[in-house]
Amino acid sequence: MKIKNAKAFKILNSNSNFTVQVNITSDAGVFKGSSPAGESVSAFEVTPFKEGLDQEISAFNDFLKKIENRQLSGLDDIYALEKEIPKEFVGGPSLSLSYAMVYALSHELNKEPYSLFGSKNTVLPISKMLGGGMHASNLGMDIQEILAVTLGDDIKESVDGTLSVYKQLKELLKNSTYSFVGGVDPEGGFVTGLDNYESLKMVKKAIEKVVEKTGKDIRLGIDMAASTFFKDGVYVYKRPIYGKKEVSSGEQIDLIKKLIDEFDLYFIEDPVDESLLEDYGKILSLTDNLVVGDDATATVTERLEKAKGKINAALIKPNQVGLLYKVKEFSDKADKMGIIKVASHRSEETRTTLLSDLAVGLGAKYLKVGINRGERVDKINRLLEICQV
């Protein structure tokens, strides 16, 4: 297919901040791409936008004029074009363009977008139950996310199990926390006044109730996003978990060990500061479950290489690198290293569902995505669509 015209413009993301959409016009129609952003970001990821979004979009539109009449016949053409994108646009603008190109190409080839990247793999959603940290404006628990995942090989059953936990949790919160009025964070996790420990206990209880009723294999996870409260070499808890407010690096590892033992944590994301890969390794030696790099690895292949032997799972967030060929490189490297891949939403999303296609095609085992809020549900629904059609 030939790109007749490409145009970038401003839209709002799910958190009512501006982001970029790119529309590509070909003889077959108009194809759209848009990019998310994060509230809590890694030091190793690219910034979605540089200074002044309007100026950047206008400069990006000048670049887009140069790709008019470009022929795209396969993913390699998209990857080649990505390598020509000037550095200053790598982030939100580049990813929006790439997503639009993928949709245009998949239409041209009459193939589902996921199949451009690989075969149909089963991907299970791992979803936010409770939100804290920066996602709750630092007013609630320190742990950024308490998550649940229903294991198995059937995505419908998995969604059903995790949704039941979410609904059960709402009932428990309604009946026990007078200040809870049903509010959710940007990723659909409930926001409550409970502290870290009470929150974990509440989600554990909700999981136990659903497991009792359904017999499903449902697990608890956390994204500690520990870098967000690591200050001058100390983890500073507003709501101490095991009694201490200021926790040293060594004590943080003991604290995580206690949490793993007490809550049987299956998924442990960024339990320590993003720069302390050795500490990730110490936690990995304590468990057979998933020690997950997000801020530590930031979808950057060199970071993944450095994390060898320190983590056994990593998030894939395309906008952390802004270019799909880099996402593919990271994914291939993870496969070589035996790292479990978890595609992931960002706190500030758009309605595009290409992330779900990428998760399926790249063979991620999980898709970290909320189970409430339209822009998250769209992504789960795309998984359900892929596996049922």
Which positions touch Mg ion (CB under 5 A)?
A: 223, 294
CB of residue 77 to ligand 2PG, shortest distance in Å: 30
Whichever of 1 and 294 has its CB closer to ligand 2PG, that residue is 294
Partner whose binding site includes residue 346, from ligand 2PG, Mg ion, none (CB under 5 to 8 Å by kind):
ligand 2PG
Whichever of 23 and 347 has its CB closer to ligand 2PG, that residue is 347
- Residue among 341, 346, 376, 379 that touches ligand 2PG (CB under 6 A): 346
CA distance 100 to 91: 14
230 has which bridge partners?
Answer: 235
Q: Establish if 273 lies at the interface with ligand 2PG (CB under 6 A).
A: no
Q: Which residue has tokens 């979410």? A: 166
Q: Establish if 274 lies at the interface with ligand 2PG (CB under 6 A).
A: no
CA distance 34 to 10: 10
Distance from the first to the final alpha carbon of the chain: 26
Contact segment (CB under 6 A) with ligand 2PG among 7-15, 209-217, 306-314, 344-352 equals 344-352
Q: Establish if 38 lies at the interface with ligand 2PG (CB under 6 A).
A: yes
- Residue among 56, 82, 185, 223 that touches ligand 2PG (CB under 6 A): 223
Among 370, 311, 379, 316, smallest CA distance to 343 is for: 316
Q: Establish if 188 lies at the interface with ligand 2PG (CB under 6 A).
A: no
Asked whether the beta carbons of 335 and 363 are under 8 A apart, the reply is yes
CB of residue 134 to ligand 2PG, shortest distance in Å: 6
The footprint of ligand 2PG on this chain (CB under 6 A) covers a number of residues equal to: 13
| Sequential DSSP letters for 122-166 | --EEEEEEEE-GGGGTTSS-SSSEEEEEE-SS-HHHHHHHHHHHH
Which residue type sits at 32? Answer: K
- Residue among 19, 31, 39, 190 that touches ligand 2PG (CB under 6 A): 39
Site for ligand 2PG in 114-153 (CB under 6 A): 145
CB of residue 52 to ligand 2PG, shortest distance in Å: 22
Q: Establish if 95 lies at the interface with ligand 2PG (CB under 6 A).
A: no
Partner whose binding site includes residue 357, from ligand 2PG, Mg ion, none (CB under 5 to 8 Å by kind):
none
Burial class (CB in 10 A: 0-12, 13-18, 19+), 157: middle
Whichever of 14 and 331 has its CB closer to ligand 2PG, that residue is 14
What's the order of all strands across the beta sheet hosting 234-236? 230-231, 234-236, 246-247
344 conformational bin, left if phi > 0, alpha if psi -120 to 50, beta if neither: beta
CB of residue 188 to ligand 2PG, shortest distance in Å: 10
Residue 304, phi then psi, degrees to nearest 5: -65, -40
Judged by the rule CB under 6 A, the positions of this chain that interact with ligand 2PG are: 38-41, 145, 187, 223, 225, 294, 344-347
